[in-house]
Amino acid sequence: MRRSTLLPTAALAVGALVLPAAPAAAVDRVPTQRLRDAVTVNGILGHARVLQRTADAEGGTRASGTPGYEASARYVERTLLAAGYDVRLQEFTFPFFQELTPTSLAQTAPEAVDYDTLAFTYSGNGRVEAVAQAVDFTATLPSTSGCETSDFAGFPDGAVAVLQRGTCTFAVKAANAEAAGAVAAVIVNAGVEDPEEVLNGTLGEPGTGIPVVGLSAAAGAQLVAAATAGEVRLAVNVETLLEDRTTWNVLADAPDGDRSRTVVVGAHLDSVLEGPGINDNGSGVATVLEIAEQVAQLGGRNRQHLRFAFWGAEESGLLGSTHYVQSLSDTELQSIYANLNFDMLGSPNFVPFVYDGDLSDTAEESSPAPPGSAQIEDVFTGYLSSRGGSEPTAFSGRSDYGPFIAAGIPAGGLFSGAEGVKTEEQAELYGGQAGQAYDACYHQACDTIANVSTRSLAVLGDAAAHAVLTLARTRTGFYEDLSRAARSTPAQAPQADDAA
């Protein structure tokens, strides 16, 4: 799962215009027991072990643009060819970004303070020391700090801009700061549960010429208070590599099904540079691979065509899935029936999250939902109701379903949690530790195969298999057909205890 580009509440400007969808018409019941029995935790872990070994052999990472990613893509290709799929590698270039030395942020006057910080992806390079200048900080969220050029009226040339997260993209804040004469930008976290969480973001694409770093809400409050009381000087150091590199999406087509109604089942294949990414997102990759193998092994007639997709450069900003959607011809775009996205399915302190396709619970945090997304949500929640339930997560476009919903394609998927903190209520319902992150190793070197919950894989692996086969074999589809409805009995919601 990629770094955040917006405050969770920053979608208010869009979400306020989005009304929750009307109640979904149920997708017809499809027997999925045989596939769910065939998709096993052992099978999923078998693939995850290979991804771990691949990272171990290639410097501890599977990030796009590295040998570890290429080896991962070749493994996925070999596996799907052996299962009988038509496989192709879709090549594209992307801006590869890497920190060469640890990023640092320190207060040098009136007293020395070292801050925990992270460079934003696509930050500019540089080592600077200058006076800190807070820009339009507010106690009420969401903040518009740095979103308008007028926020920088009177900004001292050559200062370090201290900005607050919210409302507009980080790229807009950084661009406005640079245009105002800032020599660096510090963006302070806001709107998150943990005040010590250091903001870890991306500018989306190259082009920013000044260093841009993140800071936690607690440290930011301390810094801004000091800067309000008197002059504070900051030293910022960012040293990075930025160059174009080649990477691939791996696309595998089943031999059957109506290609004018193609279900794209996706998971991002890349890790971050910092680690092997076995939960994020080896868990999704391994689950989708296991489902693809077992679908091929069990046989049977699929009405819709299945295409399994493994995306490159997700961690750089959904670049692989964006390239795929943008490369589709008009006819090909019309043929995409739905997208299912599986990004992190094995978080050790997991919650079974389902993307909120009807926007009934997260409208203020979500992007507009194409028709059909509510029905996809119901497929997941209907199944998980028999496995202890589920919770909605924002339909924010933060993962690879984002380019699909932007193109009007219905989408949905599962998520086991990342850097967020489990609540007391969630711990009571699903087990685990309240007050702890869903995945304490998120985007770190410790995201190894030891960081994966087999219980989460069991629950979400079955839910994923159920949804894939349901969408592959549904007769009624997502939308009401009044002429057909008049001739037939109402469709039943999918259930977990169907016959084989």
Question: Does 70 qualify as catalytic in the annotation?
Answer: no
Residues of the chain with CATH 3.40.630.10: 8-97+244-487
Q: What is the pLDDT at residue 294?
A: 98
Q: What is the pLDDT at residue 15?
A: 34
Q: Cβ(293)–Cβ(468) under 8 Å?
A: no
Asked if pLDDT for residue 167 goes beyond 90, the answer is: no
Asked if pLDDT for residue 324 goes beyond 80, the answer is: yes
Q: What is the pLDDT at residue 25?
A: 54
Catalytic residue among 314, 315, 365, 377: 314
Asked if pLDDT for residue 401 goes beyond 90, the answer is: yes
Q: What is the pLDDT at residue 192?
A: 83
Q: What is the pLDDT at residue 12?
A: 29
**What residues contact 40, with CB distance under 8 A and at least 6 apart?**
290, 461
Residues of the chain with CATH 3.50.30.30: 101-238
CA neighbor of 115 nearest in space, from 211, 184, 214: 214
Q: What is the pLDDT at residue 366?
A: 85
Asked if pLDDT for residue 94 goes beyond 70, the answer is: yes
Looking at residues 381-405, what average pLDDT do you find? Answer: 96
Angle at 151 between CA 145 and CA 157, to 5 degrees: 110
Q: Cβ(159)–Cβ(130) under 8 Å?
A: yes
Q: What is the pLDDT at residue 21?
A: 43
Q: How confident is the prediction for the chain on average, in pLDDT?
A: 91
Q: What is the pLDDT at residue 482?
A: 58
**What residues contact 484, with CB distance under 8 A and at least 6 apart?**
476
Backbone φ/ψ region at 82: left (φ over 0), alpha (ψ -120 to 50), beta: alpha
Q: Tell me the CA distances in angstroms from 104 to 120, 150, 420, 464, one per residue in order.
A: 12, 29, 24, 41
**pLDDT, tens digit, 9 for 90 and up, residues 450-497:** 999 999 999 999 999 999 999 999 998 888 765 544 444 444 444 444
Instruction: Give the CATH number of domain 8-97+244-487.
Output: 3.40.630.10
Percent of the chain with pLDDT over 70: 91
By three-state DSSP, how is residue 57 classified? helix
CATH of 101-238, one of 3.10.105.10, 3.40.50.10150, 3.50.30.30, 3.90.1150.10: 3.50.30.30
Looking at residues 62-84, what average pLDDT do you find? Answer: 98
Asked if pLDDT for residue 214 goes beyond 60, the answer is: yes
Instruction: Quickly list DSSP for 81-110.
Output: HHTT-EEEEEEEEEEEEEESS--EEEEEES
Bridge-based pairing state of the strands 233-238 and 212-215: unpaired
DSSP structural state of residue 111? S
Query: Which of residues 11 and 112 earns the better pLDDT score?
Result: 112
